[in-house]
């Protein structure tokens, strides 16, 4: 058994940089092709008007000012000694290459910023943008974060994702050929998916040997299409014990070298409708650790040989 039951991203950062590194989320004012009028879709069911993952960001500030503000918080709260600029809300490759370059360069020019993470959709990276991302991947510490959510096209259609799994494979393959580290986002508990389908996503991520993965718990935020379905009683969310068991099942099927960037989701308190138990993030994480110990298990234990 390894010292820890899974391959933790924060441990990887400390090994690479020799000190505590924290991400600072940045809202660079991007939109999304799934909501901008370029497609006849209302956007993903789970995404609110501020964009997925926009918690705590001081919108309206420049990239530099957001990072300077975030540095003060991360240094005071977590004793961080270096930072990754994380372009998070919406699709952060959804702009001309010249604009992308200017924004990424602005972030890297901030003192203490040691690398970039760029979140986007697999259907929103032009060939020129992919080449630009490759430039940064070879210039600095860099992650491309691709929102997938599920490998099942029926699920992607049901949540109005706006692309299929093959689109993800195309983008992932292009990034890999260019030497770009990719962190894949998946959501457990999506409407209509059963346990077997969710674990099939884990097994496919193992087959691809993805560099990193973020495992999100489906949570219901106000002012989203998902909230309308939840309030109408048409969908349910998982209980804590169910999620903990499923998360461990999922990680047991991942490749042992894949870095785990996240174990659960944590929506903003003032917008979260359900599940309210997810607000106790550390309780959930500790329970996942306990489940690994009870099983005497670890990441990759059930990977297909």
DSSP assignment of 43-59: --TT--TT-TT-TT--T
Predicted confidence (pLDDT) per residue in 129-146, tens digit: 999 999 999 999 999 999
pLDDT tens-digit map of 7-33:
999 999 999 999 999 999 999 988 887
Residue 246 forms part of a structural domain: yes
In a domain? residue 304: no
Q: Are residues 34 and 171 in the same domain?
A: yes
Judge if 137 and 108 occupy the same domain.
yes
pLDDT at 1: 44
Question: What confidence tier does 54 reach under pLDDT thresholds 50, 70, 90?
Answer: low
pLDDT value of residue 49: 65
pLDDT at 43: 77
CA 290, CA 46: separation in Å to the nearest integer?
A: 29
Distance CA(235)–CA(110), nearest Å, equals 44
- Peptide bond between residue 239 and the one before it cis (omega within 30 degrees of 0): no
Q: How much is the average pLDDT of 177-185?
A: 98
131 and 222 together in one domain: no
Are residues 188 and 148 in contact, defined by beta-carbon separation less than 8 angstroms?
no
Instruction: Please indicate, yes or no, whether residues 28 and 149 belong to a single structural domain of this protein.
Output: yes
- Pairing relation of β-strands 113-120 and 141-149? parallel
Both 17 and 144 in a single domain?
yes
- Give me 192's structure tokens: 């209509």
Quick check: is 284 in a domain? yes
- The per-residue DSSP string of the chain comes to --SSSS-BHHHHHHHHHSS--EEEEE------TTTSSSSS----TT--TT-TT-TT--TTS-HHHHHHHHHHHHHHHH--S-EEEEE-SS-TT-S-HHHHHHHHHHHHTSTTEEEEEEEE-TTS--HHHHHHHHHHHHHSEEEEEEEEE-S-HHHHHHTT-SS-HHHHHHHHHHHHHTT--EEEEEEES-TT--HHHHHHHHHHHHHHT-SEEEEEE--EETTSHHHHHHHTTS-----HHHHHHHHHHHHHTS-TTSEEEESS----TTTEEE-GGGG-HHHHHHHHHHHHHHHT--TTTT---
98 is a domain residue: yes
Residue 64, in any domain of the structure:
yes
Residue 139 shares a structural domain with residue 17: yes
Provide the token pair at 129.
């943008």
For residue 275, tell me if it sits in a domain: yes
Does residue 264 sit within a domain?
Answer: yes
Distance CA 55, CA 221 (A): 12
Residues 224 and 286 both lie in one domain: yes
Q: Are residues 120 and 8 in the same domain?
A: yes
Query: 50 lies in a domain?
Result: no
Angle between helices 195-208 and 240-252 (to 10 degrees): 30
Token pair of 208 as six digits = 């691809």
Confidence of residue 39 (pLDDT cuts 50, 70, 90): very low
- Give yes or no: residues 32 and 169 share one domain: yes
Instruction: Tell whether 11 and 101 lie within a shared domain.
Output: yes
Q: How confident is the model at residue 36 (pLDDT cuts 50, 70, 90)?
A: low
Q: What's the CA gap between 140 and 258, in Å, rounded?
A: 20
pLDDT tens-digit readout, 191-248: 999 999 999 999 999 999 999 999 999 999 998 899 999 999 999 999 999 999 999 9
Instruction: State the total domains in the chain.
Output: 2
What residue numbers bound the domain in which 259 lies?
184-295
Question: Residues 15, 75: one domain?
Answer: yes
Closest CA to 191 of 221, 158, 219: 158
């Amino acid at each position: 058994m390894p010292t820890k039951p899974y391959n933790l991203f924060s441990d990887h950062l400390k090994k690479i940089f020799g000190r505590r590194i924290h991400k600072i989320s940045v809202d660079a004012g991007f939109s999304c092709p799934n909501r901008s009028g370029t497609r006849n879709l209302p956007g993903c069911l789970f995404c609110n008007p501020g964009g997925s993952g926009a918690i705590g960001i001081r919108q309206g500030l420049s990239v530099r000012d957001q990072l300077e503000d975030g540095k003060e918080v991360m240094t005071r709260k977590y004793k961080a000694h270096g930072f990754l600029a994380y372009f998070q809300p919406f699709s952060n490759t959804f702009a001309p290459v010249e604009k992308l370059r200017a924004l990424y360069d602005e972030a890297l020019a901030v003192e203490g910023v040691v690398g970039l993470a760029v979140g986007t959709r697999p259907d929103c990276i032009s060939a020129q943008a992919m080449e630009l991302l490759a430039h940064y991947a070879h210039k600095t510490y860099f992650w491309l974060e691709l929102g997938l959510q599920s490998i099942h096209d029926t699920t992607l259609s049901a949540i109005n994702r706006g692309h299929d799994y093959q689109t993800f494979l195309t983008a992932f393959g292009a990034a890999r050929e260019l030497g770009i580290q990719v962190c894949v986002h998946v959501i457990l508990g999506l409407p209509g998916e059963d346990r077997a389908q969710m674990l099939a996503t884990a097994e496919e991520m193992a087959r691809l040997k993805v560099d990193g993965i973020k495992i999100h718990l489906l949570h219901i935020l106000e002012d989203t299409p998902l909230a309308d379905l939840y309030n109408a009683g048409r969908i349910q969310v998982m209980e804590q014990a169910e999620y903990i068991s499923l998360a461990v099942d999922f990680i047991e099927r991942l490749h042992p070298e894949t870095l785990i960037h996240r174990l659960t989701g944590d929506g903003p308190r003032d917008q979260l409708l359900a599940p309210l138990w997810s607000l106790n993030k550390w309780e959930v994480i500790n329970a996942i650790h306990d489940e690994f110990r009870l099983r005497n298990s670890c990441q990759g234990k059930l990977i297909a040989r």
